[in-house]
Amino acid sequence: MKILYAIQGTGNGHLTRAYAMAAEFAQREDLKVDYLISGRSPSALFEMQAFGDFSWRQGLSFATRGGRVSLLGTVSKNPWLQFWQDVKELNLSSYDLVVTDFEPVAAWAAKRQGVPCVGLGRQYAFQKHNHQLPINSLQRAMLKQFAPCDTAIGTHWQEVPELVPPLLGHALNSAGHGRTAMDIGHFLVYLPFESLAKIKELLAPFNNFRFSIFHPQATRMENAHCQYYPPSRQGFAEVFSQVQGVISNAGFETSSEALALGKKLLVKPLSGQFEQYANAHCLAEHDLASVMFGLDRECMSMWLRHAIPAQIKWPDIAPQLVNWLADGADEPVRSLSLRLWGQEKENRQATA
């Protein structure tokens, strides 16, 4: 079977899922997998060896300014003509299947050319009404049309029919479950859409704690109780495994990693990003994280001193998803979902 695996490059969460899948694809001689990435400049991509000689397209992305999504910027700055040209010119005739993690070029090309397409990722959890993820009908329609698919596999933190647990990969799970001592009072800060100056201002009073800040504008430096790092997948994972807690936007993947490793979690949803607001609502409703809607020192002070972490031990689902794809994606998604959540229940009972 020959598969085109298409990745939305705007967020590192999409790439994290793709790394987990790529590691499993590499073990299969019966699968030939090519990768396509869009939504981020090639110069801004890093540590991409897992995807081999991948293809790149400009794609579409949300524009942000001052820590919030800019609707005007999103409409005006996206290359719409180039996007449709790329959709028309992407030849899928040699592929048996397209898998898209919210990547629109390959998704629309598959729709136009009649190639079966599986949508795999967080955004596909919003395709059907779910009271845990409150978005309106217009927002749901926008997500459906951005990167359409024939079969949707959405990821979620808790059991919902036809959704599956987070796709974290064996590397994260083995690195964090009890193998690294937790460094009490040490916190990782990952707020890539916020101004670095505003982050420094937020953290300044909390000199009884230590912070490791990963940010696109940062260079490696240490300043009093703060250490700054540029983006690094390996460096991020190493610090992540050590810290007591995580402060981040309300993206799904970083939140999932924190919950898998039992880190206390404080999230700030990206203003104007309805998916992150829905994530934040769900996390707060189920006591999985604390939420702040601005860079709020009072909220952060309470969280640093009083918040209690949650932990969920999800199964490593990447090998099972690869098997499911290799079998032609014939098993109904509801059956796949029940099987994977059954493993999460077994993990929970084993540690009760």
Name the residue with tokens 């001193």. 305
Provide the residue type at 161 as one letter.
Answer: P
Q: Which one-letter DSSP state was computed for residue 125?
A: G
What pLDDT sits at residue 179? 52
What pLDDT sits at residue 177? 47
Query: Do 57 and 8 touch, CB atoms closer than 8 A?
Result: no
- The count of residues in the chain is 352
What pLDDT sits at residue 71? 64
For 183, the token pair is 């460094």
What pLDDT sits at residue 208? 96
What pLDDT sits at residue 66? 60
The rounded distance, in Å, linking the Cα atoms of 227 and 222 is 4
What pLDDT sits at residue 111? 98
Which are the contacts of 178, defined by CB distance < 8 A and separation ≥ 6? none
**Domain annotation for the chain: domains and CATH numbers:** 2-168+315-350 (3.40.50.2000), 173-306 (3.40.50.2000)
What pLDDT sits at residue 234? 87
pLDDT by 10s per residue, the chain, length 352: 999 999 998 878 888 899 999 999 999 999 999 999 998 888 878 778 889 999 999 898 776 666 556 667 777 778 889 999 999 999 999 999 999 999 999 999 999 999 999 999 999 999 887 777 878 888 888 888 999 999 999 999 999 999 999 998 754 554 444 456 789 999 999 999 899 999 999 999 999 999 999 999 999 999 889 999 999 888 999 999 999 999 999 999 999 999 999 999 999 998 888 899 999 999 999 999 999 999 999 999 999 999 999 999 999 999 999 999 999 999 999 999 999 999 998 988 887 6
For 343, the token pair is 């493993």
What pLDDT sits at residue 117? 98
What pLDDT sits at residue 53? 92
Q: Which residue, among 305, 289, 306, has the nearest Cα to 248 in the 3D structure? A: 289
- List the alpha helices (DSSP H) in the chain: 12-25, 71-77, 80-89, 104-113, 137-146, 170-176, 196-203, 233-242, 252-260, 274-285, 297-306, 318-326, 333-350
